[in-house]
Structure 1
Amino acid sequence: MQATLVGLLPCRKMLVLTLAFCFMVPSSACRQTVAKQTAVPDIKNTANMSAESNSSIFEDNPVVTTPSGSFRGTWMETRRGRRFEAYRGIRYAEAPVGKLRFQPPKPILHYDDEVDATEDGPACPQPAPVGYYIDEDCLTINVYTPSHDSKEPLPVIFFIHAGGYYSMSGRSDLAGPHYLLDRDIVLVTINYRIGSLGFLSTGDALAPGNNGFKDQVVALRWVQRNILSFGGDPNLVTIAGCSAGSSSVLLHMVSPMSQGLFHRGISISGSPITKVPLSQDMLDLAQKQAQILNCPTNSPEAIVECLKTKSAKQMGDSLTSFYVFGSDPLLIWSPIVEPDLGQERFLTMEPMEAIRKGKMHAVPFIISRTTDEFFWKAFTVLKNETLLNTMNDEWERIAPISFALPPENSAETVNRLKQEYFGGKRLVNDESTAKALGNLYGDTLIGFPVHRMANLMCRHSPHKVFYYEFAYIGDHSHYEDPVTKKPTAAAHHDDLIYLFTLSYQFPTIQVSDSKDSQMVDKMTAVWSNFAKYGDPNPRGPEYPELSSLHWPPMTPTDRQYLRFGDEFSVHENLFEDRMKTWEELYSVLY
């Protein structure tokens, strides 16, 4: 079971709840580790056990009545002891099963009976440890609020989970509310269809594509109808996401389906604007999915009809069969520009073109990356003799697979990258090669796309764009040294550790004088301040954690960014020395 994802993690200890598949150890060892964990009771409702224990103390569970219906939730408690209301597992769309598989979501506009919103719903189909709650009927939304009877409606943060469009979820074990709910905001987390179930596209009416994004839109529309009753302000919605969720945030700004549904944006470590324009279908992936599950591949009709007969588990568990070289490619499914087939289209034009032409509904925007992103991917190659020899001996074949390069890339292009990052030398298992290979993985998968998105938006958005680098290294990371068990760098989506309780892998950061505890306060203050005002800079004494913060917006001529380290500091031209090579290879007019 050797797998990973954009937004999922190298295997550190493989806790029972982890959806991060083993990537840092040999696959046989990983399978043994997983096997040890799977001999457990059904764990679908064990996330946030402390919160569930708290809820049992209060027999008077909160009930909210909205224009769509009534919802019974539970009580939870933040890390600072604040009691808040949690409404989880609410279906916002009909089960996308049977005839609705591969079709746009059908929203649920009214609930006839009181909805039991006391437990997390399932994650959408994906590989996972035995016993983890997975189901195709997974289009659910969670709402966390200080009080549905707030005197004034509160800013809403709508979080879109990471996972490369094929893993993770919005469940409370992967996006726990216990840090952000110490702030006066309403937090919404969601599930959306992932993998082939969410993004299958044949380029015709059978499967036009982008259904996972259309799920997100339906969830945003649900928020507009109902969030006021939960104490949230429907006119003050911040969409935020990490990795695949980060890319989703930018796509909503250029989607005609999303206009008017949100008012600020936060993109952490991900961008849909990469090296070449998006395609209009992913028929090649549909054919591969069909081949993996022994379906015919001779026509879109045959593919879709056969895949509809396969179980959701078969669809979800087939993920690892998409890999070509080790656990690469890391990027598999992607958004498409939909052909006009009479359907409501999520994307009607290339995002880069839409931004340049001003055909977007831009909002105040925070964009970020971590310092080292996918640096740990280097170890999976360098510590595996077979992979290392293959990458060296077949560089021109492997480089486009591992580094998400367009298939038409010439030998000249891939060898230019080899020269820039390795001085043209063969890769060896040493520290300098690990650093260079880690930079290459990080730059191609995250760094350059984010760089391009930030530079486009600061030129064409009428609103301020704030750029940051997350450089803080705390007590935990999504990659920790296998010997010392300590973090060594700021890895991909490490900033989430200080925004959400990630109980599937990390302990809750307790209130203390520790730097980790202070970082929780800083990160949640930045998010809540930005959600309220559209600017992360403090306005008076409301957020003492931000008293030292001075964060200038990014402009085309003054490309400043904030570094989140032990302290806040302002710098300029984030990794632009390395970005120069990518700009030359994949040039565009900004």
Structure 2
Amino acid sequence: MIQLLVLLVMAAASDAHRQHGGAPSTDGPLTTSPSGTFRGSWMTTRKGQRIEAYRGVRYAEPPVGELRFKPPRLITQYKDVVDATQEGPACPQPVQNDYPVDEDCLRLNVYTHGHKGKLLPVIMYMHAGGFYSVSGRSDVAGPDYLLDRDVVLVTINYRLGSLGFLSTGDKQAPGNNGFKDQVMAMRWIQRNIAAFGGDPNLVTITGYSAGSFSVFLHMVSPMSKGLFHRAISMSGSPVSQIVIPEHQRHLAERQARLLGVSTDSSKAIVDGLKTKTAKELGDSLLGMFEFDYDPVLLWVPVVEKDFGQERFLTMQPLDAIRQGKMHQVPYIISQTKDEFFWKAFNVLRNETLLKTMNEEWYRIAPISFYLSPNTARHAADRLKEAYLGGKELVNDTKTADGLGKLYSDAIIGFGVHRLVNLMARYSPKPVYYYKFSYIGDQSHYVDPDTKKPVGAAHHDDLIYLFGVTASFSLIAPSDSEDSKLVDKMTAIWYNFARYGDPNPKGDTPEISALSWPVIKPDSRKYLRIEKDFSVHANLFEDRFKVWEELYPLPN
């Protein structure tokens, strides 16, 4: 079974209205915006507030037929009343248990308190999933917790895998369509959200992992200018040891070969893939990996060449930061304490994978840890020495710790470290940094014997911000530490969405003791989120020294 990134979707089909009180009602709320009229349904937050939910709303034309592999087309007018009472499908990807997926997936969900006189801050969430899995549906990004605050929440789908990120490096498929989908959703928000009680001039874009990559890319994309006002990137960075390419033709060709399509030309690839069903494309994901489920990141953004199209990304994100070519907004950046530590267990507990990684270290390390081809052998040696003492992998605690840290730093940690420190230096707006270290009753990785969480894994902070009912039970209001953390996490987001500052206000007593400083180049402080919050400095910098040496910033 595909690992953590896909488990959110593969867990168990659980339509959100099943979690929130049965089938949709015909007497749901009605909202009229400049684009049309929407009929929603009622939901209830964890503290019992009744809220309006408008789900499965198409924000762009269905990307099917001749629109497959094309940039999205924003819907500006709906002819009929939009039935927004039920979830829309996730975008095509491997699923279990008849989980609903469909190519007609450019949908968003709006959760609101309705009109309360004053327009409320808007939080837009872009989901995780490696750009090939998960969705914005309410069973993986539900409003249960955040809507106990006075905010409007919008969660979105964007095209995944080859359907969203096919890039041949020419006019046939310039790339980045999944990111352009996100831009269309942001434009939809600007046009319509005031009718739902949201303030279009107070939009916070947020995202996790692949969604975190996306958030920062919007900060440097010319397409996203003026569409948001604060940003939160959780556990993901497009600035790392990886240099953003101009195309990913090798993935286009791999996708074509998997489905028996000619690779003679870009046109042959695109035309051939258009003859395949969306299910065939989605279900072919397993064939895209090279070693077990590595590399975790397959499709990445590309710096688009100019073929007359509206370009999402026109320069390297690193260059944009250093040249000050960013949309200047307050910014929160984070990583978890243990991130992808569990991937070490996948290797060490599997005799075949363990033997392969040991015997073919110089082939596997560049795949699993994103090492540049021109320095891969040297980097593989240095990293093996730094994290594993230069020793062969064995299935013991010490090796698991070292290999787990190597996976975590290669996939997430070093990139986040590089991004936050660059932003501390170059951003004129405040930048806040946190490490999520809390280990609660639920986690995206549990020990297979004890069934208990043993680390603060990738995605775990989402458990305290959203209802993730496809995988976890909701955290009821109580005196439990998990419940207290929900209140603290949502308070941080609420304050940041309102003021661009996560620190306490009079109406957020849950975090009254919080004093979270801005990170500075000469004062690299971060907030450690555990049972109690505390401020520390120089997060994991001892581990990141080897990465800085291997991948120094260009002059």
Q: Same fold (TM over 0.5)?
A: yes
Aligned to 2:251: 285
Aligned to 1:326: 292
Counterpart pick for 1:500 among 440, 454, 466: 466
Aligned to 1:90: 57
Describe the shift of the 1:302–1:589 C-alpha distance in structure 2 as closer, same or farther (beyond 3 A): closer
Aligned to 2:163: 197
1:468-496 CA distances to partner (integer Å, 9 max, x unpaired)?
A: 00000000000001111100010001000
Q: Distance in 2 between matches of 1:417 and 1:336?
A: 27
Aligned to 2:41: 74
Aligned to 2:273: 307
| Aligned 8 A contact 1:71 1:115 in 2 | yes
Asked if residue 580 in structure 1 is aligned to residue 540 in structure 2, the reply is no
| Aligned 8 A contact 2:233 2:333 in 1 | yes
| Aligned 8 A contact 1:55 1:76 in 2 | no
Q: Distance in 1 between matches of 2:65 and 2:426?
A: 43
1:63-92 CA distances to partner (integer Å, 9 max, x unpaired)?
A: 000000000000111000001100000000
Q: Distance in 1 between matches of 2:409 and 2:68?
A: 35
Q: Which amino acid in the other structure matches residue 519 of structure 2?
A: M
1:330-361 CA distances to partner (integer Å, 9 max, x unpaired)?
A: 11000000001110000000000001000111
Q: Distance in 1 between matches of 2:517 and 2:19?
A: 40
Q: Distance in 2 between matches of 1:411 and 1:195?
A: 29
Q: CA deviation at 1:54?
A: 8.2
Q: Distance in 1 between matches of 2:152 and 2:450?
A: 39
Q: Distance in 2 between matches of 1:202 and 1:389?
A: 35
> What SS does the corresponding residue of 2:20 show, helix, strand or coil?
helix
Q: Distance in 1 between matches of 2:291 and 2:105?
A: 31
1:276-302 CA distances to partner (integer Å, 9 max, x unpaired)?
A: 421100001000000000111121111
Relative to the length of structure 2, the TM-score reads 0.98
Aligned to 1:123: 90
| Aligned 8 A contact 1:529 1:538 in 2 | yes
Q: Distance in 1 between matches of 2:88 and 2:175?
A: 25
Aligned to 2:144: 178
Equivalent residues in 2 for 1:208-287, closer than 5 Å: 208-287=174-253
Q: CA deviation at 1:130?
A: 3.9
Asked if residue 61 in structure 1 is aligned to residue 28 in structure 2, the reply is yes
| Aligned 8 A contact 1:48 1:503 in 2 | no
270-279 or 470-479, larger mean C-alpha shift: 270-279
Aligned to 1:113: 80
Q: Distance in 1 between matches of 2:337 and 2:355?
A: 28
Q: Distance in 1 between matches of 2:554 and 2:152?
A: 40
Asked if residue 387 in structure 1 is aligned to residue 353 in structure 2, the reply is yes
Equivalent residues in 2 for 1:330-369, closer than 5 Å: 330-369=296-335
Q: CA deviation at 1:50?
A: 3.6
Identical aligned residues as a percent: 62
Q: CA deviation at 1:20?
A: 4.5
| Aligned 8 A contact 2:17 2:86 in 1 | no
Counterpart pick for 1:47 among 10, 16, 19: 16
| Aligned 8 A contact 1:124 1:136 in 2 | yes
> What SS does the corresponding residue of 2:9 show, helix, strand or coil?
coil
1:412-449 CA distances to partner (integer Å, 9 max, x unpaired)?
A: 22111111111111010000100000000000000000
Aligned to 2:371: 405
| Aligned 8 A contact 1:54 1:76 in 2 | no
| Aligned 8 A contact 1:92 1:218 in 2 | yes
> What SS does the corresponding residue of 1:315 show, helix, strand or coil?
helix
Asked if residue 509 in structure 1 is aligned to residue 475 in structure 2, the reply is yes
Q: Distance in 2 between matches of 1:412 and 1:46?
A: 49
Q: Distance in 2 between matches of 1:110 and 1:410?
A: 52
Aligned to 1:543: 508
Q: Distance in 1 between matches of 2:393 and 2:166?
A: 36
Q: Which amino acid in the other structure matches residue 19 of structure 1?
A: V
Q: Distance in 2 between matches of 1:4 and 1:317?
A: 15
Q: Which amino acid in the other structure matches residue 168 of structure 2?
A: T
Unpaired stretches in structure 2, ≥5 consecutive residues: none
> What SS does the corresponding residue of 2:425 show, helix, strand or coil?
helix
1:559-579 CA distances to partner (integer Å, 9 max, x unpaired)?
A: 000000010100000000001
Q: Which amino acid in the other structure matches residue 359 of structure 2?
A: D
Aligned to 1:3: 2
Q: Distance in 2 between matches of 1:195 and 1:327?
A: 15
> What SS does the corresponding residue of 2:223 show, helix, strand or coil?
coil
| Aligned 8 A contact 1:325 1:398 in 2 | yes
Q: Distance in 1 between matches of 2:411 and 2:233?
A: 15
Aligned to 1:558: 523
Q: Distance in 2 between matches of 1:481 and 1:573?
A: 30
Q: Which amino acid in the other structure matches residue 289 of structure 2?
A: Y
Q: CA deviation at 1:312?
A: 0.2
> What SS does the corresponding residue of 1:472 show, helix, strand or coil?
coil
Asked if residue 152 in structure 1 is aligned to residue 118 in structure 2, the reply is yes
Q: Which amino acid in the other structure matches residue 307 of structure 2?
A: L
Counterpart pick for 1:19 among 2, 5, 9: 9
Q: Distance in 1 between matches of 2:459 and 2:97?
A: 26
Asked if residue 103 in structure 1 is aligned to residue 70 in structure 2, the reply is yes
> What SS does the corresponding residue of 1:366 show, helix, strand or coil?
strand
1:21-64 CA distances to partner (integer Å, 9 max, x unpaired)?
A: 7xxxxxxxxxxxxxxx7xxxxx5x722414243854xx531000
| Aligned 8 A contact 1:413 1:585 in 2 | yes
> What SS does the corresponding residue of 1:542 show, helix, strand or coil?
coil
> What SS does the corresponding residue of 2:187 show, helix, strand or coil?
helix
Q: Distance in 1 between matches of 2:23 and 2:95?
A: 28
| Aligned 8 A contact 1:161 1:241 in 2 | yes
Asked if residue 371 in structure 1 is aligned to residue 370 in structure 2, the reply is no
Q: CA deviation at 1:329?
A: 1.3
Q: Distance in 1 between matches of 2:92 and 2:21?
A: 25
| Aligned 8 A contact 2:24 2:86 in 1 | no
> What SS does the corresponding residue of 1:53 show, helix, strand or coil?
coil
Q: Distance in 2 between matches of 1:587 and 1:221?
A: 37
Q: Distance in 1 between matches of 2:467 and 2:375?
A: 41
Q: Which amino acid in the other structure matches residue 389 of structure 2?
A: G
Describe the shift of the 1:545–1:580 C-alpha distance in structure 2 as closer, same or farther (beyond 3 A): same
405-414 or 517-526, larger mean C-alpha shift: 405-414
Q: CA deviation at 1:538?
A: 1.2
Relative to the length of structure 1, the TM-score reads 0.93
Q: Distance in 2 between matches of 1:477 and 1:175?
A: 15
Counterpart pick for 1:528 among 470, 479, 494: 494
Q: Distance in 2 between matches of 1:520 and 1:68?
A: 35
| Aligned 8 A contact 1:297 1:303 in 2 | yes
Q: Which amino acid in the other structure matches residue 4 of structure 1?
A: Q
1:198-222 CA distances to partner (integer Å, 9 max, x unpaired)?
A: 0000011110100000000000000
Unpaired stretches in structure 1, ≥5 consecutive residues: 10-17, 22-36, 38-42
Describe the shift of the 1:55–1:308 C-alpha distance in structure 2 as closer, same or farther (beyond 3 A): closer
Aligned to 1:420: 386
Q: CA deviation at 1:194?
A: 0.6
| Aligned 8 A contact 2:239 2:415 in 1 | yes
Q: Distance in 1 between matches of 2:453 and 2:363?
A: 33
Q: Distance in 2 between matches of 1:208 and 1:571?
A: 43
Q: Distance in 1 between matches of 2:19 and 2:181?
A: 31
**Aligned-CA RMSD value:** 1.3
